[in-house]
Every structure is written in structure tokens, then in C-alpha cells.
Amino acid sequence: MVSQIQPPTQPEVIYPDSDGQPVANNTIQFGWIVEIKQNIEWLFANDPNVFVAGDLFWYPVEGRNKIVNAPDVMVVLGRPKGDRLCYQQWKEEGVAPQVVFEILSPSNTQIEMDKKLLFYDRYGVEEYYIYDPDRNNLCGWLRGEDGLDVIPQMDHWVSPRLKIQFALLPEGLQLYRPDGERFLTYTEISRNAEQERQRAEQERQRAELAEQARRDAIPRLLQMNLSIEQIAQALALSVEEVRTLAQE
């Protein structure tokens, strides 16, 4: 009897979803990460196939868990929204993040940033942007025939993929949506949402008061011997509405 030799079992490759380091080193860096991520999510809110993430581990090569990076913000067009512990590219139909943002902090070294540029160039990023809020300095790269090429002029640059515009103002970087509206901070978004809620509530209350005023006017107008038709015309109501309200 011939026994078959079983091939050795390959150990399972673990892809960590955290390195134990904080998302940002200071509040300024964190604020920029949140603002860019949330506004891009807002921009593509109605497109189910745009995935946006902040500080998420990206593994481009299956079985190689040492090849990894965690962009401050990454945008993947063509992949569904949803939670992920990490972005394993081979499970995402091989689609690499097309747009990546990095926000510098004082702890970032030139060697570290050079390695990031090499990684993004090697693994298919199409647009790469670095903003240094301390120096108000913006750099960008766009994929050409031979890889990522430096964008010579970033002020008023428009992202080919996202259609957002970059403007370097004396007070800092400002980003604009394709419709010309500027990116908002989380505080501004929350304040605008609250103002909109208050406006909607005021409009509802005005509508209720106007409706009650019409209801109250019908008995008085009937006592003045106005016809149903005349009352309907005076109150901008249909004849049936007046008859129904008169019977209540």
C-alpha cells in the first residue's frame, strides 16, 4: 500500500489592523484628517461605490503583511462603502486607492515621507497630496507614464479624480467642492445642520399657525353670510377643503 505524503500546511498570514500608534500626533493634524475625510465622504455620499478611509492599514500584496501603509486619508473609487478592519487589495478586486492624502506633523521625517512616496508610486496611487499645516506648504504628485510625477503648481490645482480644487491662502489651505462650495470643518457642518433643523422647525410651526388661522376664519366668514365658494377663494382652499373644515 502506497501512502500519500501530505504537503506541508502553510501558516496563516495575519494582517494586523493596528500598530498601537495614535491616528494623529496633534490636534491640528487630526483636524485636517477629519475635515478632508468627512468632506470627501459628503461629496460622494450618494455613490455607493466610493470608499473613503482615514488611517486604515492598506495591504497591497497577498501574503506579504510587512508591505503595508496607513494613509491619513485614502479614496478608493469603484469599491463599495462599508466598514473594514484593513484594506486587503486582493479582496477588493485588485483596486488600489487612487487618491491619498498625508498631513505632516513635526514628528514626520524626510526619510519616512520618501518611503511613503516610494510605496504609493510602486503600488498604484494615481494622486498623492502632502500638506504641512505648520508651513502652509502643499505638494502633489500625479501618475504619468513612468509613475508619480510632481505637480509643479498646486495653487488652484483641480484633482482629476475628485474634481476638488486646492487653494493656498495666507491663512492656510482651502479645499473646494466641484460646485464651488468650500470644505467645512466638523463644527461648521454640525452648526449648519442645527440651523437647518431650526429653520425646518420654524417653517413647520408657521405652516401650522397658518392652517389654524384658516380653520378659525371659516366660522367667522360663514357668519358673515359668505358662500362656501367665496370662502374657498378668499382662503386659497378648495371648496371640498372648506366644507370639510366647516364640519369639524
Q: Indicate the pTM of the whole model.
A: 0.75
In whole angstroms, give the CA distance from residue 129 to residue 159. 10
In whole angstroms, give the CA distance from residue 81 to residue 47. 9
- Lowest pLDDT segment from 52-66, 77-91, 215-229: 215-229
Q: How far is CA 188 from CA 27, 170, 175, 193, 231, in A?
A: 17, 21, 14, 8, 47
Phi-psi region of 20 (alpha: psi -120 to 50; beta: other; left: phi over 0): left
Q: What is the DSSP letter of 142?
A: E
What is the torsion angle, in degrees rounded to the nearest 10, for the CA atoms of residue 228, residue 229, residue 231 and residue 235?
130
pLDDT digit string (tens) for 27-60? 889 999 999 999 999 999 999 999 999 999 999 9
At 19, which amino acid appears? D
Q: Grid coordinates standing for 115?
A: 518611503
- At residue 25, the pLDDT reads 73
Q: How far is CA 88 from CA 67, 101, 178, in A?
A: 11, 19, 30
Beta bridge partners of 150: 141
- At residue 175, the pLDDT reads 97
Average pLDDT rounded to a whole number, residues 82-108: 96
Which residue has 493596528 as its cell numbers?
18
Q: Read off the pLDDT band of 9 (50, 70, 90).
A: low
Q: Grid coordinates standing for 242?
A: 372648506
